[in-house]
Amino acid sequence: MTYIARESRYEDAPQGWFRRCGASGLQLPSISLGCWHNFGGTGTDSGHHGDENEFHANCQKMLFEAFDLGITHFDLANNYGPPPGSAEARVGRILKEDFAGYRDELIVSTKAGWDMWPGPYGNWGSRKYLLASLDASLRRLQLDYVDIFYSHRFDPATPLEETLGALDQAVRSGKALYAGISSYSGAMTADAMRICEREGFVKPIIHQPRYSMLDRWVERDLLPVTGRFGLGVIAFCPLEQGLLTSRYLNGIPADSRASVSTSFLKREKISPEILATVRALNELAVARGQSLAQMALAWMLRTSAVTSALIGASRPGQIRENVAAVQKGTFTGDELARIETILSGGR
């Protein structure tokens, strides 16, 4: 398969599709593609592609579709798969074989912070782990550099100066163009930025928190801090692992992620109250002429405080549907009030 990108991929992008990442010079697409669950080992994807050739072809088609629609940002982490490392290896193969001529148009990010290899140096935020992991990620991705390298989580046992110093070294060495942090609290984020200012470290330009209609902690804790320090924000799990889609409107499907023990989406979280909330949101989405997923993404992007929404996908059609969210990205005051009522438990 020889991939040639659609020539009008930028001209056809909606107005405002690219959004500036905080106070930096980097722009990100409104929707970015996360390469987690569906880019790892054969048969581990939601589509259960047991044949390696079919599995790989589906991954290619998703990345091709994304890029053709103006999604220039592919997000990874060292432990993405399963098994850990396999998503980077698969995406790296596609980047080398199919995207070699488009590298300068792409933002490729990766992270280190969660369990990756046995022993005391295979997780958290030490200099040893972060820099060794970055080198391993570059080998799997078959790249000379990544565009963004993240500390994937705050390490309570390692001095923050050490973690940030490792990010600084990653950028100054040319192995990463920008630094980022993920899942840090507002207070930790503020501390990180002050330490960088004090020590003369390269500052993170972006924060990747979990944020959705059903998980709004960032609004009170994090967004005031990222705004003050000029960080961009890219939200992961904006659709709550599929809960904010049409998939759960009639209850929990037999093949739901909620039945998988390793999934973020736990069966016990899908209570009758949550399902009632999801159904009420879906009624409003239908009235707006959108799917629930599209409305959830549009709601996420309604504020300039969020740079990009990070989606996952198991097939190209899901990517097309999600990108269409920006076509109806504005809300009336009544619609926003209705959403607040629904999310607060009112019907």
Helix count and strand count (H, E) for the chain: 11, 10
Structural domains for the chain: 18-248+295-328 (3.20.20.100)
Give the pLDDT band of residue 46 (cuts 50, 70, 90): confident
Contact 126, 154 (CB under 8 A): no
Q: Are 125 and 162 in contact (CB under 8 A)?
A: yes
What is the predicted pLDDT for the residue at 177?
Answer: 98
HSE of 201, CA atoms in CB hemisphere, 13 A: 25
Residue 122 pLDDT level (bands cut at 50, 70, 90): very high
Distance from the Cα of residue 188 to its chain's centroid: 20
Residue 344's alpha-carbon distances to 243, 253, 281, in angstroms, are 17, 26, 12
Q: Report pTM.
A: 0.95
Residue type, 62: M
Rounding to the nearest 10 degrees, give the CA dihedral for residues 60, 55, 116, 223.
50
- Do 206 and 288 contact (CB within 8 A), yes or no? no
CA distance 218 to 235: 10
Cβ(129)–Cβ(121) below 8 Å = yes
Rounded to whole angstroms, how far apart are CA atoms 323 and 325?
Answer: 5
The alpha carbon torsion through 40, 45, 47, 49 (nearest 10 deg) reads: 50
Report whether pLDDT(266) > 70. Answer: no
Read off the pLDDT of residues 201-244 as tens digits, 9 standing for 90 and up: 999 999 999 999 999 999 999 999 999 999 999 999 999 999 99
Q: What is the pLDDT of residue 265?
A: 62
